[in-house]
Structure 1
Amino acid sequence: MKTSYSDLINQTFYFPQEEFTLNKDNLHFHGIDLMKLVEEYGTPLKFTYLPKISKNIRQAKLWFRNSMEKLDYDANYYYCYCTKSSHFKFVLDEALKNNIHIETSSAFDINIVENLIEEGKINKNTFVVCNGFKRDAYIENIARLINNGHKNTIPVIDNYEELDLLQEKIKSKIKIGIRIAAEEEPKFEFYTSRLGIGYKNIVPFYRKQIQENKKVELKMLHFFINTGIRDTAYYWNELLKCMKVYIALKKECPTLDSLNIGGGFPIKNSLAFDYDYQYMIEEILNQIKIACDEAEVDVPNIFTEFGSFTVGESGGAVYEVLYQKQQNDRENWNMIDSSFITTLPDTWAINKRFVMLAVNRWNDTYERVLLGGLTCDSDDYYNSEQHMNAVYLPKYNKEKPLYIGFFNTGAYQETIGGFGGLHHCLIPQPKHILIDRDKNGILATEVFSEQQSADQVLNILGYNKK
């Protein structure tokens, strides 16, 4: 009878997979022996596997290149990284090795861009696409960037006042984009995105504020669906509505030459994950090309702003199961040595599920459990996987420590959780390590940040001030 955790995984999924393999009864992630990391650095532990960032960027560029060649799509493709997914320098440094561009969302993003320019990581050919709602500090920073000579900065207009605010600060002619306020799926609480300008209002806005304005050059139309790029009737319908606006604008505005389709590529959230990226890219480009050919206008350059897709699959977290609490006849709570609310806040805030696997003891029998965090909040738990309504792990045994890993956690978790700050119940921020490979493929690790200390927390709270 097959009752081991390894049997369960093999019977449920195709396993091993590209990034997940097994060595005896220990899990490897991209060839990394996770138990060796645990032995060297302890738990709780956050890690970032840097080569995965470059790999995903190169892969996306290849998919777009293949589709453009197949469709005879005569325009350029620009891969932008959406910095809000992870602002860390080690992420930007790795991503910018791949000749990409940047998308920003707030004022301090521009300070990061200026820092990268000083270091030579960004040059005059790098596009900086500025999204988000813009007021004083963000406007000032965008203006400074353009006034200092970075002409490939493209502020994307979010509302009717922004263009005037930008023109007051910027000395030269400016390139701009306009964001479409897409209509949301029917199940959403609201009907139209709060970001951008409505479909019907974009052409009148162009005629009123841009068409005769010698200081402004419209280059880009920005289109983004909150639920992401998915093969649904809703997505294709919104894309066609966007193309109608693009074509109408293009016929009146010769300088318009780019369509920004935003981000939204999904990342692997389960061992059962299945998404045909090449098909989706090819079909998006095909729909755009058909619409433009029928209207007899040139196809646009394509910009994307992939954030989670760029960095998400590079991240992971490892915890130890400290203790098991049996609360009733059916519920066994495995208590981890950290908190879901503070280290993986999306599991709590939006019920997001990541790939979760045991790190060791794969040859042991398994049981159904609930996972609990260390805070005293009843919502600090993880109780199901994306592919099933439960969590299964090797049986708890206090004589045999059990470690569990959460994978593809590299986007948003640190900034939402508040890196370096205060956390619920003052649970300390875990140690974070960076993992890279040299030109020969040899692994190298370094500590990016140590586990937060009591003194650091008390300093924030004001207790150590004299």
Structure 2
Amino acid sequence: MNTKYKDLIEQTFDFPQEEFHTESNNLFFHDIDMMQLVKQYGAPLKFTYLPKISENINKAKNWFHKAIEKYNYQGTYNYSYCTKSSHFKYVLDEALKNDIHIETSSAFDIDIVKSLKEEGKLKDDAYVLCNGFKRDQYIANIVSLIDGGHTNCIPIIDNYEELDLLLDETRSKFKVGIRIASEEEPKFEFYTSRLGIGYKNIVSFYEREIANNPQVELKMLHFFINTGIRDNAYYWNELLKCLSVYIKLKKVCPTLDSLNIGGGFPIKNSLAFEYDYEYMVEEIINQINVACKEADVEVPNIFTEFGSFTVGEAGGAIYEVLYQKRQNDREKWNMINSSFITTLPDSWAINKRFIMLPINKWNHRYERVLLGGLTCDSDDYYNSEQHVNAIYLPVYEKESPLYVGFFNTGAYQETIGGFGGLQHCLIPTPKHVLIDRNENGDFTTKLFKEQQKSEELLSILGY
């Protein structure tokens, strides 16, 4: 009878996979021995595998370039990184190696842009697409970029007042985009996104506020839906509605030449994950091409703003199982040496699933367990995985530590968790390690941040 954990995985999934395999009963991630990482740095541990960022950027570029060639599409493709997914400098430094653009969402983002420009990391002709709801500080920072000569800084107009706010602050000529307030999926608690301007009002807004103003040039229409880019009727219907607006706007606005389809490529959250990225890109390009040809308007240059897809699959977290609590005849709680609420907040806040695998003991028998965090909060647990509302891990042994890894956690978790700040129940932020490859292709590791110390937390609290 096959009762080893490795047997369970190999019988349930197509395993090994591109990024995962095992050797000597330990897990390897992109050929990195995870157990060796634990021996070197300990656990709990956060890590970022930097080459994955460039790999995903170039995958997307390749899909779009192939689709453009296949359909003889006459526009260009421009990859932008959505900085809110992870603002860390090591992420931006890696991403910007690949000739990309930046999408911002708040005032302090512009300070990051200026820092990158001063270092020569962000080119002077790179697009800086300024999204989000804008008021005094954000407007002032955007204007400082425009007045400083960054001609491809494009504020995306979110509401009727923003254009006037910009005009009040600068006499420079500048480009703008307009965001469409997309209609949400029926299961949402609201019908229309709070972001952007309604479909029916965009053309009239342009004609009233921009068409006769020589200081402003409309260059871009921005489209994004919360559910992301998915092969379903809702997405294709919203895309066609967006194209209808683009065509109407293009016919009265000759300067309009770009369509931003936002972000929303999913990332792998299970060993059973399937998504045909290439097909989706081809179909998006085809739909835009056909709609514009039928309307006899030039096709737009395509922009995307991929955040999670850029950085999500580069990140991971490793915990040690400290103890097993048997609370009744059926439930076994494996207690980790950190907290899910603080280190993987999306698992608690929006019930997001990550790939969860043991780091060691793949040749041991497995058991069904629940995973509990260190905080005294009843919600600090992780209890379902790709095995349908259950977690299976190698059998707990008190004298032989079990380590558990969560993968593809690189987007949002640090910023939502409040990196470097207070943590729930004062559980410290784990040590963070950066993994890279040198010119010879060998792995290198670098400690980015030590685990938080009590002095840091007490200082914030005023002690």
Task: Say whether the fold is shared (TM-score over 0.5).
Answer: yes
Matched, 1:13 2:7: no
* Corresponding residue for residue 399 of structure 1: 399
Q: Is the 8 A contact 1:307 1:411 kept in 2?
A: yes
Q: Which amino acid counterpart does residue 350 of structure 2 have in structure 1?
A: I
Matched, 1:58 2:58: yes
Q: Distance in 2 between matches of 1:81 and 1:123?
A: 14
Q: Per-residue deviation at 1:329?
A: 1.0
Q: Per-residue deviation at 1:358?
A: 0.5
* Corresponding residue for residue 375 of structure 1: 375
Q: Is the 8 A contact 1:343 1:429 kept in 2?
A: yes
Q: Is the 8 A contact 1:344 1:409 kept in 2?
A: yes
Q: Which amino acid counterpart does residue 81 of structure 1 have in structure 2?
A: Y
2:452 aligned counterpart, secondary structure = coil
Matched, 1:310 2:317: no
Matched, 1:277 2:250: no
Q: Per-residue deviation at 1:439?
A: 1.5
1:357 aligned counterpart, secondary structure = strand
1:64-83 mapped onto 2 (5 Å cutoff) = 64-83=64-83
- Residues 171-192 of structure 1: per-residue CA shift (max 9 Å, x gap): 2111000000000000000000
- Residues 135-163 of structure 1: per-residue CA shift (max 9 Å, x gap): 00000000001101100000000000000
Q: Which amino acid counterpart does residue 443 of structure 2 have in structure 1?
A: L
Unaligned runs of 5+ residues in structure 1 are none
Q: Distance in 2 between matches of 1:31 and 1:12?
A: 22
- Residues 356-386 of structure 1: per-residue CA shift (max 9 Å, x gap): 0000000000000000000000000000014
Q: Distance in 2 between matches of 1:386 and 1:89?
A: 33
Unaligned runs of 5+ residues in structure 2 are none
Q: Distance in 2 between matches of 1:387 and 1:119?
A: 47
Q: TM-score, normalised by structure 2?
A: 1.00
* Corresponding residue for residue 141 of structure 1: 141
Q: Per-residue deviation at 1:388?
A: 1.7
2:75 aligned counterpart, secondary structure = coil
Matched, 1:175 2:175: yes
Q: Is the 8 A contact 1:272 1:387 kept in 2?
A: no
Q: TM-score, normalised by structure 1?
A: 0.99
Q: Distance in 2 between matches of 1:306 and 1:184?
A: 20
Q: Which amino acid counterpart does residue 261 of structure 2 have in structure 1?
A: I
* Corresponding residue for residue 49 of structure 1: 49
Tell me whether 387-396 or 279-288 shows the greater mean CA deviation.
387-396
Q: Per-residue deviation at 1:61?
A: 0.3
* Corresponding residue for residue 443 of structure 2: 443
Q: Distance in 1 between matches of 2:278 and 2:94?
A: 24
Q: Distance in 1 between matches of 2:387 and 2:108?
A: 38
Q: Distance in 1 between matches of 2:386 and 2:239?
A: 28
2:319 aligned counterpart, secondary structure = strand
1:132 aligned counterpart, secondary structure = coil
Q: Which amino acid counterpart does residue 271 of structure 1 have in structure 2?
A: L
* Corresponding residue for residue 249 of structure 2: 249
Matched, 1:24 2:24: yes
Q: Distance in 2 between matches of 1:170 and 1:150?
A: 13
Q: Distance in 1 between matches of 2:447 and 2:162?
A: 42
* Corresponding residue for residue 324 of structure 1: 324
Q: Which amino acid counterpart does residue 357 of structure 1 have in structure 2?
A: L
1:446 aligned counterpart, secondary structure = strand
1:175-324 mapped onto 2 (5 Å cutoff) = 175-324=175-324
1:424-435 mapped onto 2 (5 Å cutoff) = 424-435=424-435
* Corresponding residue for residue 388 of structure 1: 388
Q: Which amino acid counterpart does residue 121 of structure 2 have in structure 1?
A: K
Q: Distance in 1 between matches of 2:187 and 2:278?
A: 28
Q: Is the 8 A contact 1:316 1:405 kept in 2?
A: yes
* Corresponding residue for residue 101 of structure 1: 101
Q: Distance in 1 between matches of 2:420 and 2:171?
A: 38
Q: Per-residue deviation at 1:387?
A: 4.8
1:404 aligned counterpart, secondary structure = strand
Query: What value does the CA root-mean-square deviation take over the aligned residues?
Result: 0.5
Q: Per-residue deviation at 1:440?
A: 1.0
Matched, 1:35 2:35: yes
2:318 aligned counterpart, secondary structure = strand
Q: Which amino acid counterpart does residue 260 of structure 2 have in structure 1?
A: N
Q: Which amino acid counterpart does residue 179 of structure 1 have in structure 2?
A: R
Q: Distance in 2 between matches of 1:321 and 1:169?
A: 56
Q: Is the 8 A contact 1:354 1:386 kept in 2?
A: no
2:256 aligned counterpart, secondary structure = coil
- Residues 196-217 of structure 1: per-residue CA shift (max 9 Å, x gap): 0000010111111011111110
Q: Is the 8 A contact 1:179 1:221 kept in 2?
A: yes
- Residues 398-450 of structure 1: per-residue CA shift (max 9 Å, x gap): 01110000000000000000000000000000000000001111111010000
Matched, 1:86 2:70: no
Q: Distance in 1 between matches of 2:195 and 2:238?
A: 15
Q: Distance in 2 between matches of 1:408 and 1:2?
A: 29
